[in-house]
Amino acid sequence: MKALVCAAALGVAGAAQAELIDPEALRFEGADVVIMGERHDNPVHHVNQAAWIARLQPAAVVFEMLTPDLALTAESNSDPAVLGAVLRWEERGWPDFTMYYPVFRAAREAAIFGGGVPTEEARLAVSDGAASVMGPAAEMFGLDLPLSDEEQATREADQATAHCDALPDDVLPGMVEAQRLRDAALARAVIAAMAETGGPVVVVTGNGHARRDRGVPAALEAAGQSLEVLSIGQLEAPAEGAVPYDVWTVTDAPERPDPCEAFR
């Protein structure tokens, strides 16, 4: 699976020298799968996603925020309050649904797929490993294989940073396993969406899952999928060094409370 290089952008190899893209300049020609990263609580990221989906008109949209059992209906899609209630959005821990509603409205002609992992399965992955939870499909996505020592250490360090260095060291390997499970589950949903609709398929997900080096693109590659994948990262500060996306943009960060306060 080769990276798709769009107008106004360079691939990951040139990331250190590449200019940040203008969201309005993004092009999708030739893409089977477009992975639209986000920081979940940044409303501008969802404005961009809605505009990109409206422009692309994909056949299917896979949401990290939806598990496969959460079905949408045409009636619920017409009212944000109804749709948010049907999806149990905020009770499941996602930010204000009004930020996401324009994304759903833009996707109203597309088939909707849930690529998220239920909370109980994510917890099992922490304790029992991603392969145990994924079952027979684990080998397809390489979940039965351990990461290299270097990659394992890097991912554990990233998990520690993401959780404000508040997690015990012995929990970090399990957090890595949960992330691997989530990547594979999203890739599985993409494969199902491609099979059902023929694509193109959009994935709405966090920036971590959009990473080409370890996220959904890597899981699709492990599964042997011959797809043209475009990975988009939406950052809140200029990147330093190589960036693991095909294209990326920078937006202002919203005002938010200190995310580490909850760990103190």
Residue 145 DSSP symbol: S
Mean pLDDT over the full length of the chain: 90
Provide the pLDDT for residue 241: 79
Does residue 15 sit in helix, strand or coil?
coil
Measured at the alpha carbon of residue 70, what is the angle toward residues 105 and 186, in degrees to the nearest 5?
85
Question: What string of DSSP letters covers 134-201?
Answer: HGGGGGGGTTTSPPPHHHHHHHHHHHHHHTTT-S-GGGHHHHHHHHHHHHHHHHHHHHHHHHHH---E
Does residue 32 sit in helix, strand or coil?
coil
CA gap 244, 14 in Å, rounded: 10
pLDDT tens-digit map of 86-114: 899 999 999 999 999 999 999 999 999 99
DSSP element (H, E) containing 201: strand 201-204
Provide the pLDDT for residue 164: 94
Tokens of 58: 């994909």
CB-based contacts of 227, cutoff 8 Å, min separation 6: 1, 32, 33, 190, 194, 199, 220
CA gap 154, 160 in Å, rounded: 10
Closest CA to 245 of 13, 50, 63: 13
Write out the chain's pLDDT in tens, 264 residues.
433 333 333 333 333 333 468 999 898 999 999 999 999 999 999 999 999 999 999 999 999 999 998 866 645 667 888 889 889 999 999 999 999 999 999 999 999 999 999 999 999 999 999 999 999 999 999 999 999 999 999 999 999 999 999 999 999 999 999 999 999 999 999 999 999 999 999 999 999 999 999 999 999 999 999 999 999 999 999 887 788 999 999 999 999 998 898 777
Q: What is the pTM of this model?
A: 0.91
Q: Tell me the sheet residues that pair with 60.
A: 111, 201
The answer to whether 189 touches 115, Cβ cutoff 8 Å, is: yes
Provide the pLDDT for residue 141: 98
What are the boundaries of each domain within the chain? Answer: 31-200+210-235+245-251
Closest CA to 99 of 190, 236, 204: 204
How many helices and strands in the chain, by DSSP H and E? 9, 6
